[in-house]
Structure 1
Amino acid sequence: MENESTYDIEERYSDDDAISDLFSNGIRDTDDFSFRTTDTDDSEANEFDYEDQHFDDRKIMFETSKLAINDVMTLVMAFSIRFKISDVGRSELINMIKLFAGPRVNDINISKYRFQQKFDPPNETSMIHYYCMSCKQQILYYINLKERFRKQKKTCAICNAQCEITTKSKNYFMSVDLKYQLKMMFDSVEIKKEIFDFINKMDNRNNDEIAIRDIYDSELYKKINSDTNMKYITYNLSTDGAPLTKSGKRGFWPLQIILNCLPPKSRFKYSLICGMLTCTEEPNSDLANLYFNNFKEQAALLYNEGISETDLNEQKIIIKFYPLAIPVDSVCRPIVQNRIKFNGYFGCSWCYHRGEYIKDVSGIRYGLLEIDPEIRSHASHLKDIKIINSKNLNLDKIISERGVKGDITSITKLPHIDMVWSFSYDYMDGLLAGVEQQILKKWTDSKSTSNFKLTNQEIKVINQRLLSIQPTQDIHRQPRSLKEKANWKSAEIKSWCLIYSLPCLQGILDDTALKHYSLLVKSLYVLLKNNITKEELDQCESDLLEFVGKYEIYYGIENMTFNIHTLLHVVDSVKKNGPLWSNSTFPFESNIFQLKQLLNGPNGMDKQMIRKHLQRLHFKTDTVDYSSDEIRNYCSNLYKYKTLSTHYDFGEDDVIFIGKKNVSKKSMKHIVKCTRNVYSEEKFYIV
């Protein structure tokens, strides 16, 4: 589509509809691509080495279409990656195509080895790093994926542990060359044009307007790019965990980035992978520090040296990059910051509210204070690290200083990272899965003691209203009953909050509670806009303060959870990092699901995901070596999102109708204007 709303874009590229399916989907096949990291040769891949080396892939396979073997391989590979076909399935697809081609190609062997040679990324793009299992602070050995592995015995330089590294060792993570992926992006003519056009648009806009429209209006971005003649391209960095299989304990934590130099409608299409950690339990800060360290080295090179490219005028330029924001959820954030978790004293990520232990709920709660707590800053965070380091010199046990447990050098030494405000507020985790679900429970759960608890009959009426709604196709899921609210995906909670909730609750929920709740809905809508004025920010700050204050009055101190408290910092996060949609974890969670879908077997799952991610990126960026435009167009279309066929322009007063093409001009007098938050400011109408 030419024009899309913020809501549309997040729904399309960031929808977490299938994220929970990570917990329920099993592995379909048992075959796997075998990397040469075993003690024995990969006989399947090397069986036809000699024959393949003397094989001419330019030989015509189909006379009528003039498709050569090389073309067929490209088409099959694009198809296989797009539709998640296993290596065995791909081999059978080739056999079927050979039947179509006739008996003269029966002797042609398009082996697995040939596909590896043609489509696998270079050996040095992915590395395996083995670490000490005892202290998790030292890299013991590293090797690229194609090197022949030999059993190793290593001694950790930090804890002196004796470690044996074998092919079955699980104490490793993988790193992926970010520069290789960035070059792929800039080698794409279409993507490069989008990048430079968008950068020029941002540079030439009216900066006198006091409004926040994107990351480019954020304080952290302006702090870097307004003080120097060198313009940097920024990116957001994120990681989160998900299970690898339905019943297994092992999970994976991909390290992902998204470039901010693309227009919003294209930005979330391309997630790049910097690393992959697999483990059976949540990593601690020591392991996170080790895991991020390789990325820190890559980030330093991209910041100091950059990459050599050509602009749209074919002039050579150096493009440099730096990380801007690290949107992660409330579980991952304290790990990466090396702080106390949200359920402990001083657990807030953005202020020094100590919290109060409430005996009735056996937990820490964050009530409003007469004097506002001190706001955290990068300088105060480093000061806390210095204090904790001096205290730990004389103590064996780990203590904390105002919630800070110590340094995590792989993050603090990233270029221009603010250890407080670079960790932007994540509304998917904090507001949707947190606050919204919490308040719904207060209204609908049978065990709720809230004064605003709804009766079964009232819930039934709300469900009738909710289920009668027929959303447009830009909302990907039909409404589900409140009885299933525990299973709602974040995208469904978002639809409920922004679109369905107020009409469904009107006249049923107590007016006091509804008016109070509307403060949250209004604030979320405004902070998701693509043009937020200073006056709107001030109003949101006031509304959210009122919401939090009255929440304590209406629902009690025992319900003043971390998620409720952090609403007080949302506006500051928007000022520092840009609108909520620009720093959401939606696209990262969506890509976690996409990575999981690349799996075809139980062995070497992390290696499968990385290899197929890089192969898929080649096709998505259109940087594959095609022999004809026809083949390029077919492969490119496989990876493009289909536009809505019923979305068309009536052609009068720029009215855009959605639905069947049978609107008569007589209907024009009955149209109702609908305001939509859209990038083009286009207007939609309902007849």
Structure 2
Amino acid sequence: MSGLGNCSGALEQRKQFLSQCSQCKKNYKGMDLSNNGNFFVLFPLREQFSSLLRTKDVARQLENSLLKLEVDADPEALCDITDGRLYREIRRNVCDKQDFTVTVNSDGSQAFNSAKYSIWPIQLTINELPHHLRSSNVVLAALWYGAQHPNMTLFLDPFVKALNGLADEGVQWKTSKSVLCTSKVYCISCSVDAPAKASMQSIKQFNGYYGCGWCLHPGVCLPGSTVVKYKADLLDIPDRTHAGMLVDMETAISRGPTNGLKGPSPLINLRGFDIVWSFTPDYMHCVQLGVTRQFVELWIECTGEAYYIGKPSDLRTVDTKLCSIKPPNNFSRLPRSLTQYKHWKASEFQKWLLFYSLPCLEGTLQKKYLSHFALLVNGIFLLLKHNIRVSDIDEATALLVEFVVKTQMLYGESQMTFNVHQLLHMPKSVLHFGPLWSLCCFAFESNMGNILQLIHSSKGVPLQITTRILMQNRTREMLEQASNPVKEYHGTLYKAPELSTGIEVMGDADVFDASQHRSLFLALVGFVPKCVYEHKRVNVSGFMFHSTQYRRPLKTDNSVAFLSDRDCFVRIEHILSFRDVQNVSHVCVLSRLLSTTDLFKSVHIKSPSFLPVYKLYTVNTKMLPCVYIEFENHKFILQLPNKYETLSRGARTCAQGSLFYPHYVITLYGHFFSGHRALQYPHM
């Protein structure tokens, strides 16, 4: 399948376009191919990145990140993509100091409930931007629209050529000092779900033999089944290599599928792209919507099994615990019944896995199955931490290997799914590209929702999306050049909450009697302030905390915090503020001393004990929320793995969608599905 030609994309030129297929010698009209509903739009990337980097905050953050990369980092610490070993190796071999890299994603979503037409965008994020900025500035590289899945060779080939063009000529932008900088752009990583990965990698699907793109596990088809499983008792299975994949792809051209490879993938032509390890196991699809959901379904649906908890009495016990939990208000959803798991979103499975499952299942699920599931909980938590040490990866590897092996022992070979198998490759992927959250599909899925909201009718869907995104982002680009009154007026129309970075006490203040705690103030600041005020709430870097005196929230609880600089937990009983002799404001919390013991052999699940001794703690930006669970006879404090995934939508910087330049040429590739090769055309 190949292109038939190009046009500017203007309506009249599309109508008049004529071309002959080189294979069947049949003539095609541009309008006929367009009306057939299978084509895609390719957006020039240079203009989009230039437009994005005209946003001052984005350019400043990118500049700072590139400067930090010049400093030798701690080789034992992984805090983001840029700390990954494969990232550093690719950057060292391919990039100059001013160049930046991107992650690519492609996935489909149904455009209408009553029709089978779907959109398949190719989306990009800049790896060197901070997490919140790259999540809110997703760049749209191409958009396929049709009734069938795209032909990935046809779809990816022009995309690869466009990116290699950026690797040759680069993108120009101005630094904070107005210095003109030319940065080359390299695509070095890909975050997609398993079906999209198979088509982009040109490998068999996960339900076929040799369907794993990271290793040469052959897969086993169990008696009476047509689905391939990935048994854990096969020994000495080697990892795939980039060079080995190229050999297998070449062999597949003449001999058919070789080690699962069906032929060459266009992505092998991307400079700096490793066809094996540039693909990362996606945490959202593999763990949350995959393994976690799989085990919930097993426990509830498999009657007669030793791990079955689907009896009404058992479900009632678990649901009573689950629905009584008051999570911190930065969680976007409240817990809901386990019986509704088929309707849970990925974020709900995430919270269930990390925070709710072990406390709720204790006493209901048999101990050996609970201990087995705790291996997954603890292993994934370690790979989600904000600062991951190499020792954490080693520990997570041991936990996940044990989990996979015991899954086959406890649940049988039929449960050795590809999602379970992928867990074995996650630690190595984290070593290559940083924590699991750094290359997750959440940002791309969120932007997919933004794109779908731009469709208002069934006619001309790609042109609707393109035109409306163009208008939105042209407004944002103009806003950068607007006067302050215009920016203020725009702010009144579109109230986009920004990520707070400071400390702010909230609500009314009452006078607090400091004389009762003289020794605590003397120990903290060296004097007893004359005027101390008590507040019910305080905002710390976008996280809201409240004291136990605050009675308003009925379904959330933000009274427990982890002080990372002191490595301790606090239950906030009073939030206090005062000024010192230099008139400098201080904010602190008063809490009883709290000791904890580890539960479930976990690093993040604690059993608290409150001592009758009070202590004052200074509030700083190292203060992070925790999940506090209180059942009839048990209390739990659960630490969050990082601060990025748990910020509620309202606390994040609002995603504005992809940025586009107002004057560019768009290439449309019409696709006539009759076995012939397709048509090309461009601009609107």
Short-chain TM bin? 0.7 to 0.9
Give how far 1:264 is off: 1.5
Write the letter of the residue equivalent to 1:632: K
String of CA shifts for 1:506-544, please: whole Å, max 9, x gaps.
222111111110111111111111211111101111111
Does residue 425 of structure 2 align to residue 569 of structure 1? yes
Does residue 28 of structure 2 align to residue 163 of structure 1? yes
Write the letter of the residue equivalent to 2:222: I
Distance 1:616 1:281, change over 3 A: same
Write the letter of the residue equivalent to 1:584: C
Write the letter of the residue equivalent to 2:340: E
The answer as to whether partners of 1:215 and 1:577 remain within 8 angstroms in 2 is: yes
The answer as to whether partners of 1:251 and 1:280 remain within 8 angstroms in 2 is: yes
Moved more, 291-300 or 647-656: 647-656
Q: Structure 1 residue aligned with 2:473, among 617, 621, 627?
A: 617
Q: Structure 2 residue aligned with 1:270, among 134, 137, 150?
A: 137
Q: Aligned ranges for residues 631-670 of structure 1 at < 5 Å?
A: 631-636=486-491, 638=494, 640-641=496-497, 648=504, 658-659=545-546, 664=574, 668-670=590-592
Distance 1:686 1:349, change over 3 A: closer
The answer as to whether partners of 1:240 and 1:328 remain within 8 angstroms in 2 is: yes
**Normalised TM-score (structure 2):** 0.73
**Normalised TM-score (structure 1):** 0.73
Write the letter of the residue equivalent to 1:211: A
Does residue 108 of structure 2 align to residue 221 of structure 1? no
Does residue 280 of structure 2 align to residue 424 of structure 1? yes
Q: Aligned ranges for residues 141-540 of structure 1 at < 5 Å?
A: 141-145=6-10, 148-166=13-31, 167-204=34-71, 206-227=72-93, 230-231=96-97, 232-283=99-150, 287-391=151-255, 399-409=256-266, 411-445=267-301, 447-454=302-309, 455-540=311-396
The answer as to whether partners of 1:599 and 1:608 remain within 8 angstroms in 2 is: yes
**Corresponding residue for residue 2 of structure 2:** 137
The answer as to whether partners of 1:672 and 1:685 remain within 8 angstroms in 2 is: no
Moved more, 448-457 or 375-384: 448-457
**Mapped partners of 1:620, 1:528: distance in 2:** 33
The answer as to whether partners of 1:181 and 1:272 remain within 8 angstroms in 2 is: yes
The answer as to whether partners of 1:622 and 1:636 remain within 8 angstroms in 2 is: no
Give how far 1:146 is off: 6.0
Moved more, 351-360 or 640-649: 640-649
Does residue 456 of structure 2 align to residue 590 of structure 1? no
* SS of alignment partner, residue 415 of structure 1: coil
Give how far 1:324 is off: 1.7
String of CA shifts for 1:565-594, please: whole Å, max 9, x gaps.
111111111112221111111110110001
String of CA shifts for 1:610-669, please: whole Å, max 9, x gaps.
22223323445565553x312113325626225689984599989956137966469713
Distance 1:582 1:686, change over 3 A: closer
Give how far 1:246 is off: 1.3
* SS of alignment partner, residue 356 of structure 2: helix
Q: Structure 1 residue aligned with 2:407, among 541, 546, 551?
A: 551
**Mapped partners of 2:200, 2:622: distance in 1:** 39
The answer as to whether partners of 1:237 and 1:325 remain within 8 angstroms in 2 is: yes
**Mapped partners of 1:302, 1:643: distance in 2:** 32
String of CA shifts for 1:394-451, please: whole Å, max 9, x gaps.
xxxxx30010000123x11011111111111101111111111111111111x44532
Write the letter of the residue equivalent to 1:341: Q
Write the letter of the residue equivalent to 1:390: S
* SS of alignment partner, residue 19 of structure 2: strand
**Mapped partners of 1:315, 1:498: distance in 2:** 46
Distance 1:380 1:685, change over 3 A: closer
CA RMSD, 1 decimal: 2.9
Moved more, 601-610 or 477-486: 601-610
Give how far 1:470 is off: 2.0
Write the letter of the residue equivalent to 2:374: S
Write the letter of the residue equivalent to 1:442: L
String of CA shifts for 1:467-487, please: whole Å, max 9, x gaps.
111222211111111111011
Give how far 1:304 is off: 1.2
**Mapped partners of 1:560, 1:685: distance in 2:** 34
Distance 1:141 1:648, change over 3 A: same
**Mapped partners of 1:332, 1:259: distance in 2:** 21
Distance 1:148 1:163, change over 3 A: closer
**Mapped partners of 2:133, 2:19: distance in 1:** 46
Structure 1 residues not aligned, in runs of 5+: 1-135, 392-398
The answer as to whether partners of 2:173 and 2:182 remain within 8 angstroms in 1 is: yes
Give how far 1:183 is off: 1.0
The answer as to whether partners of 2:202 and 2:264 remain within 8 angstroms in 1 is: yes
Does residue 432 of structure 2 align to residue 579 of structure 1? no
Distance 1:655 1:289, change over 3 A: closer
The answer as to whether partners of 2:292 and 2:353 remain within 8 angstroms in 1 is: yes
**Mapped partners of 1:557, 1:647: distance in 2:** 53
Distance 1:158 1:375, change over 3 A: farther
Moved more, 359-368 or 411-420: 359-368
**Mapped partners of 1:406, 1:424: distance in 2:** 21
**Mapped partners of 1:382, 1:448: distance in 2:** 47
**Mapped partners of 1:256, 1:558: distance in 2:** 35
The answer as to whether partners of 2:219 and 2:228 remain within 8 angstroms in 1 is: yes
The answer as to whether partners of 1:333 and 1:423 remain within 8 angstroms in 2 is: yes
**Corresponding residue for residue 643 of structure 2:** none
**Mapped partners of 1:673, 1:296: distance in 2:** 55
Distance 1:473 1:645, change over 3 A: farther
Write the letter of the residue equivalent to 2:9: N
- Identity of paired residues, percent? 26
Write the letter of the residue equivalent to 1:223: E
**Mapped partners of 1:376, 1:451: distance in 2:** 38
* SS of alignment partner, residue 271 of structure 2: coil
* SS of alignment partner, residue 143 of structure 1: coil
The answer as to whether partners of 1:235 and 1:323 remain within 8 angstroms in 2 is: yes
String of CA shifts for 1:378-399, please: whole Å, max 9, x gaps.
11110101211232xxxxxxx3
Distance 1:148 1:426, change over 3 A: same
- Which structure carries more helix by proportion? 1
String of CA shifts for 1:19-50, please: whole Å, max 9, x gaps.
xxxxxxxxxxxxxxxxxxxxxxxxxxxxxxxx
Distance 1:214 1:685, change over 3 A: closer
Moved more, 509-518 or 658-667: 658-667
Distance 1:378 1:665, change over 3 A: closer
Give how far 1:363 is off: 1.6
String of CA shifts for 1:280-316, please: whole Å, max 9, x gaps.
1223xxx211112221122112111102222222222
* SS of alignment partner, residue 380 of structure 1: helix
String of CA shifts for 1:241-296, please: whole Å, max 9, x gaps.
0011111110000110011121122220111101110111223xxx2111122211
**Mapped partners of 1:192, 1:676: distance in 2:** 36
Give how far 1:597 is off: 1.0
Give how far 1:151 is off: 3.6
The answer as to whether partners of 1:443 and 1:452 remain within 8 angstroms in 2 is: yes
Write the letter of the residue equivalent to 1:500: Y
**Mapped partners of 2:463, 2:84: distance in 1:** 37
